[in-house]
Structure 1
Amino acid sequence: MNVLGKIKRKIHNLSHPELGVVLMLHRVVDSRSRIAANRDLEITADFLEHTILEYRQKGYIFVNLDEVADIIEKGNTKHKFVCFTFDDGYRDNYEIAYPIFKKYNIHFTIYVTTDFYEQKALLWWYMLEYLGVTDEEFLAYREKIFNLKTDQIESAFREWFPGRNYSFADMVNKMSLTVAQIKELSDSGLCCIGSHTVTHPRLDKLTPEEQRDEISTSKNKLEAVVGKQVEHFAFPYGCYNADTVLIVAECGYKTAVRAYGGIVRKGAELLQINRVFLR
């Protein structure tokens, strides 16, 4: 960044002070993965506790997403906030993370992909690891998968790994939250259940009609599970376009979060809230 750019950024930051941070997590595990890209999705329980204590020591307040929305709308806060959010709907969110948040009485959100608990999700990132690919091979396969639609992934795996013994169904059954766990989390008062689409696609690769189906259907399904309004959304992979934001608003969501962008500043848009990847 040149000198003029640095000056403009400093002026922007002065007029848009920090309000807080929304943290993006995926998994809390006992042992982390072999593949680096999957390892990036994982933290340990000790690291989560350390993060909580560090933010507490710095004087941050722990808030839920409704409170984040209120702070953004007001444009100010006496104390900077931190909000914990998880994407996808992994079972360890319930088994390992939830007891830690209960211990400290801290609110958190899980953005659930409905295909996870319906045991239809294709966890291709963990399947590639199971099938023994290297880190370099993983990145090459990931690039190909990002250019496929969800219903093309299984046939691609059959082509890439002929004769290999694996089961997407067994993997998601072992790794995903159950309906009962989602309901218990929602009823706890500590966990907000948000939507993360039905199949976890790159929304920017879909038509507006396909996007609406993913965004609206997941909301309806989750509301049937938790028995309350689902008002918060996360863009899968952080990928979206102008159509996506419009559809999210039309479907009745109160907030939507990105997968990047850094801290939350004054003037943030409720349907494009920045997050920081905790890893």
Structure 2
Amino acid sequence: MLSSRNRHRLFEAGFRAVSATGADRWLAPAARGLGVILTFHHVGPEAPAGYAPNRLLSITPDFLDATLRELHARGFEIVGLDAVPERLMAARDRPPFAVLTFDDGYRDNVVHAAPVLRRYSAPWTLFVTGDFADGHGRLWWIELERAIGRLDRVRVAIGDRSVDLPARSPQEKSLAFEAVYRDLRGGSEARLLDRIAALCAEAGFAAGAAATELCLSWDDLRALGTDPAVTFGAHTKSHPMLAKHDPALAAREIGAGRDRLAAELARPVRHLSYPVGDPTSAGAREFALARDFGFDTAVTTRPGHLFAGHAGHLHALPRVSVNGCHQSRAALAGLLSGVPFLAWNRGRRLNVA
């Protein structure tokens, strides 16, 4: 199995090949859809350290600026998420559109992303997790990174096997993170949270503390709400991988996340982002729940552009992640062309099952 670093090297080589051959231009008419929803998480100026397993979730303000410039250069119109249902039913002779979405509600979105977006008068959507705004949610992927960063050895019991790996150098820490992350993601979320909390305790800090440090509070969100360019969307109450839980809990998470956000910000909440958002975290059951709760749209992390057929699947919309491991013009050109998704989705325009 390829390590994450080697996978990212292969991806980057693919992006360069697409750019060098001009495929991002001559294949775009067939590959590009009516529009694209872009996914962001962190935006900050700090260069990632040698050990930074979550670097894919963070881009620099300069690269966000480059993304907006590339969108304009390629003729994309940046629109708000509210416009998506109508644009999917619009005539095909309209220019392609792009939607900018930011997941989880990080403070750096206001500090570093908002000034860039403001320069371009770009509308954007912030998906908020209620427990993160309360300051006590479990940003478990960050907890895992920080715990392994402090430990010299990582021991985790997972089912009938255990992980016991050295974690002295940045490379060893990266390999340990990848092994633990992969094994825990394959099981229940309760076990994942329990094992990571134990690693945090061993590393000398409490699980659940990162949200206060990294995420916007309700007061921060209300202040941000004065900006007319911002749309708020729900990202559940506590950020669970919904498909791993029973229907009642999934429904409570979706409904409570929406209702709390609407009450705190005194505005309707029309859009949902499924936490994690891949097929193991959100599928047909979750899509039906989002529709039954009355959301106008709901977005996944299934990769792809938007096509006319998505007008009939507004609660299973794909997105394209702007990945911090690939902060290059070649990567942007490939993603915005739609070409990589011809192979990724095996020629399918819709992946909504």
Deviates more, 1:97-106 or 1:136-145: 136-145
| Equivalent residue runs for 1:117-196 within 5 Å | 117-131=133-147, 132=149, 134-146=173-185, 147-150=187-190, 152-153=191-192, 155-160=194-199, 163-196=202-235
2:336 is matched with none
1:31 is matched with 46
1:3 is matched with none
Deviates more, 1:161-170 or 1:62-71: 161-170
Secondary structure of the 2:122 match is coil
Aligned pair partner of 1:72 in 88, 91, 102:
88
TM-score under structure 2 length normalisation: 0.70
Counterpart CA distance in 2 for 1:139 and 1:32 is 21
Counterpart CA distance in 2 for 1:41 and 1:127 is 14
Question: What do the CA deviations read for 1:169-204 (whole angstroms, capped 9, x no partner)?
Answer: 432111001112211222311111101111111111
Given the alignment of the two structures, is residue 103 of structure 1 paired with residue 119 of structure 2, yes or no? yes
User: Is the CA contact 2:144–2:199 (under 8 Å) kept in the aligned structure 1?
Assistant: no
1:207 is matched with 246
Given the alignment of the two structures, is residue 227 of structure 1 paired with residue 266 of structure 2, yes or no? yes
Structure 2: which 5+ residue stretches go unaligned? 1-28, 150-166, 168-172, 324-353
Provide the identity percentage: 29
Secondary structure of the 1:260 match is strand
Q: Structure 1 residues 25, 217: closer, same or farther in 2, change over 3 A?
A: same
Counterpart CA distance in 2 for 1:252 and 1:161 is 39
Given the alignment of the two structures, is residue 259 of structure 1 paired with residue 301 of structure 2, yes or no? yes
List structure 1 runs of 4+ shifted beyond 4 angstroms.
Answer: none
Aligned AA (1:24) = T
Q: Structure 1 residues 221, 142: closer, same or farther in 2, change over 3 A?
A: same
User: Is the CA contact 2:297–2:314 (under 8 Å) kept in the aligned structure 1?
Assistant: yes
User: Is the CA contact 1:75–1:267 (under 8 Å) kept in the aligned structure 2?
Assistant: no
Deviates more, 1:182-191 or 1:197-206: 182-191
Counterpart CA distance in 1 for 2:82 and 2:112 is 24
User: Is the CA contact 2:237–2:254 (under 8 Å) kept in the aligned structure 1?
Assistant: yes
Q: Structure 1 residues 77, 234: closer, same or farther in 2, change over 3 A?
A: farther
User: Is the CA contact 2:133–2:215 (under 8 Å) kept in the aligned structure 1?
Assistant: yes
Offset, 1:127: 1.9
Length, aligned pairs only: 265
2:315 is matched with 271
Counterpart CA distance in 1 for 2:200 and 2:35 is 45
Question: What do the CA deviations read for 1:223-258 (whole angstroms, capped 9, x no partner)?
Answer: 012111101011111121221111111111000111
Aligned AA (1:60) = F
TM-score under structure 1 length normalisation: 0.88
User: Is the CA contact 1:233–1:256 (under 8 Å) kept in the aligned structure 2?
Assistant: yes
Structure 1: which 5+ residue stretches go unaligned? 1-12
Counterpart CA distance in 2 for 1:122 and 1:225 is 21
Secondary structure of the 1:53 match is helix
Counterpart CA distance in 1 for 2:96 and 2:33 is 7
Please provide the CA RMSD for this pair.
Answer: 2.0
1:237 is matched with 276
Q: Structure 1 residues 240, 61: closer, same or farther in 2, change over 3 A?
A: same
Question: What do the CA deviations read for 1:79-99 (whole angstroms, capped 9, x no partner)?
Answer: 100111011111101111111
Given the alignment of the two structures, is residue 20 of structure 1 paired with residue 35 of structure 2, yes or no? yes
